[in-house]
């Protein structure tokens, strides 16, 4: 009896898995996130107008203004037409999934892709079990996360918990658990999609200053967290000093001989080489105000190929990025700070592109 019951359970599971796989086949990789849907569908329609794309999370989406960088490149005789495809909350693992999806979009003019080194495979637990989180998981993304987590320094219990989160999210994805209503919504009701997130200049850049007056993020807890952190930051909360001291300590203590996290380096280099085979140059950005300790990020960043690195995180060189004047909250810049960030990024990028151009 037990054997027969198990066979029935297995049969049902197989049928559900096949049906779920069939459904997912017809869904674009970005369908679960309304902001990503808006940005990627706009990019798909206009892809050939751009030869450069920025990927990453909020530290890219909210900080990189393509208008500024394109303009500075043009002044130096460089053909550079960029689009910001950064999405809030996208850490190193989801960034690589975004890259895979991006490369499936036809754009023969794509020459440059920017990746961020600003996180490890941890995330806000509030995202768990939401369509936004579940929708993009795959065997590859789960493997990528689980290859890094064991080598991190947090307590075993903490790492094990997050490993379980990744595995359970993948299982939810395989069986479309809790996502079918949102899939139907994607296909038959686009009223929830807000085109504002393409940005005022239609380049994908949308600073948090705009968000404060708009408040149309995917889930209400995101809006609440955004406003609370903004209020605390502007009040001069001592947490800012704590974060800034951590950043300063990481950079001051860095000797350059530290061994980088091998799994993170491999993940980044696999992406670099995949793009290189397609004739696409990858640039790696180390942005300011990351949640992840720079003691982990710095060795990984510096392990990347020469001529591909843009470092903007060192509080000793860029103190303005860590002040209230240029900040939106503890981990993000305001519009004024984003403009400064984009200008500083362009100052580093243009010489690298000139070297690349002159070597051809």
pLDDT tens readout for residues 202-225: 999 999 888 776 655 555 666 777
CA-based nearest residue to 266, from 101, 122, 105, 93:
93
Q: Which domain holds residue 287?
A: 2-359
pLDDT exceeds cutoff 70 at 4: no
Return the minimum-mean-pLDDT range out of 93-107, 193-207, 226-240, 245-259. 226-240
User: How many domains is the chain built from?
Assistant: 1
pLDDT at 44 exceeding the cut of 60? yes
Query: How is 331-348 classified by DSSP, letter by letter?
Result: TEE-HHHHHHHHHHHHHH
- Please tell me the predicted confidence (pLDDT) of residue 187: 83
Question: pLDDT class for 355, splitting at 50, 70, 90?
Answer: confident
Left, alpha or beta for 177 (phi > 0: left; psi -120 to 50: alpha)? beta
CA nearest to 98, candidates 55, 35, 162, 61: 55
Residue from 212, 268, 208 nearest 86 by CA? 208
Top-confidence residue, 339 or 223: 339
Segment 28-39 shows an average pLDDT of 93
Look up the pTM and report it: 0.92
Residue 179: is its pLDDT beyond 70? yes
pLDDT in tens, 232-273: 888 888 889 999 999 999 999 999 999 999 999 999 999 999
Across all residues in the chain, what is the average pLDDT? 91
Average pLDDT rounded to a whole number, residues 19-23: 67
Contact, 283 vs 114, CB < 8 A?
Answer: yes
Q: CA 331 to CA 321: how far, in whole Å?
A: 10
Could you give the strand order of the β-sheet that contains 82-84, starting from the edge strand earlier in sequence? 82-84, 52-54, 112-116, 281-286, 309-311
Residue from 133, 127, 97 nearest 115 by CA: 97
Q: Is the pLDDT of residue 1 over 80?
A: no
How large a percentage of the chain has pLDDT more than 90?
A: 74
Beta bridge partners of 114: 54, 283
Mean pLDDT, residues 99-106:
97
Residue 146 phi/psi, 5° resolution? Answer: -70, -20
Residue 269 host element (H or E): helix 262-277
């Amino acid at each position: 009896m037990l054997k027969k019951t198990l066979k029935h359970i297995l049969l049902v599971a197989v049928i559900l898995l096949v049906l779920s796989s069939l459904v997912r086949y017809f869904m674009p990789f970005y369908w679960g996130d309304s902001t990503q849907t808006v940005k990627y569908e706009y990019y798909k329609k206009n892809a050939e107008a751009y030869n450069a794309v920025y990927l990453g999370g909020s530290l890219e989406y909210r900080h990189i203004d393509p208008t500024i960088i394109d303009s500075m490149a043009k002044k130096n005789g460089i053909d550079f037409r960029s689009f910001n495809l950064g999405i809030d909350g996208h850490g190193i693992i989801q960034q690589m999934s975004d890259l895979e999806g991006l490369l499936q979009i036809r754009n023969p003019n794509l020459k440059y892709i920017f990746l961020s080194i600003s996180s490890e495979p941890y995330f806000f637990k509030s995202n768990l079990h939401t369509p936004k989180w579940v929708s993009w998981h795959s065997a590859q993304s789960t493997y990528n996360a689980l290859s890094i987590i064991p080598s991190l320094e947090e307590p075993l219990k903490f790492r094990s918990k997050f490993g379980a989160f990744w595995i359970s999210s993948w299982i939810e994805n395989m069986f479309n658990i809790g996502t079918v209503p949102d899939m139907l919504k994607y296909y038959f009701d686009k009223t929830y999609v807000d085109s504002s997130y393409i940005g005022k200049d239609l380049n994908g850049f949308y600073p948090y200053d705009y968000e404060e007056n708009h408040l149309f993020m995917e889930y209400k807890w995101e809006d609440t967290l955004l406003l609370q952190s903004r209020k605390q930051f502007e009040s001069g909360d001592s947490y800012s000093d704590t974060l800034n001291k951590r950043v300063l300590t990481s950079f001051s203590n860095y000797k350059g001989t530290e061994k980088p996290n091998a799994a993170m380096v491999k993940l980044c280099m696999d992406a670099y080489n995949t793009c290189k085979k397609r004739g696409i140059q990858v640039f790696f950005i180390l942005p300011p105000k990351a949640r992840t300790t720079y003691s982990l990020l710095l060795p990984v960043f510096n392990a990347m190929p020469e001529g591909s690195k843009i470092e903007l995180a060192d509080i000793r060189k860029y103190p303005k990025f860590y002040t209230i004047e240029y900040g939106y909250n503890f981990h993000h810049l305001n519009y004024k700070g984003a403009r400064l960030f984009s200008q500083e990024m362009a100052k580093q990028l243009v010489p690298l592109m000139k070297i690349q151009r002159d070597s051809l």
